[in-house]
Amino acid sequence: DAMVIQNPRYQVTQFGKPVTLSCSQTLNHNVMYWYQQKSSQAPKLLFHYYDKDFNNEADTPDNFQSRRPNTSFCFLDIRSPGLGDAAMYLCATSRPPEETQYFGPGTRLLVL
């Protein structure tokens, strides 16, 4: 089945220790998104790629970076995680002109 896969599902890191979360998709979708979701809050868009074009949200901290080496993979790098970065990180994809976004299972990040 075509799907969006995220690894790892759970990640524990130390304060200030860089961490990388990965997302892959077999849907062949052009657009890949990274969201941060904290408990009882709306998913917050961090950035998205349309093919190779990177689009950063204005309020996304510089601590968050992303890479998309090819159509299938996208990575979220958190350079120096703080306690406030503990959250669920969601990867989603879409294929314009369709607007529906399909989510991966998420990675729950814990910062100690």
Partner 1 sequence: QKEVEQNSGPLSVPEGAIASLNCTYSDRGSQSFFWYRQYSGKSPELIMFIYSNGDKEDGRFTAQLNKASQYVSLLIRDSQPSDSATYLCAVNEGNDYKLSFGAGTTVTVRA
Q: Rule CB under 8 A: is residue 57 a binding residue for partner 1? A: yes
CB of 16 to partner 1, least distance (A): 26
Q: Rule CB under 8 A: is residue 32 a binding residue for partner 1? A: no
Tokens of 103: 């989510």
User: How many other CB atoms are found less than 10 A from the CB of residue 109?
Assistant: 21
Q: Please enumerate in sequence order all residues whose Cβ is within 8 A of that of 24, keeping only pairs 6 or more positions apart, or say none.
A: 4, 5, 7, 72, 73, 74
Using DSSP bridges, classify how beta strands 87-94 and 107-111 pair: parallel, antiparallel or unpaired.
antiparallel
CB of 74 to partner 1, least distance (A): 15
Q: Rule CB under 8 A: is residue 104 a binding residue for partner 1? A: yes
Closest CB to partner 1 among residues 27, 79: 27
Q: Rule CB under 8 A: is residue 69 a binding residue for partner 1? A: no
Task: Let me know if 35 is exposed, middle or buried by CB neighbors in 10 A (0-12, 13-18, 19+).
Answer: buried
Closest CB to partner 1 among residues 21, 31: 31
Give the interface with partner 1 as residue ranges (CB under 8 A): 31, 33, 40-43, 45, 48, 50, 55, 57, 88, 90, 94, 96, 99-106, 108
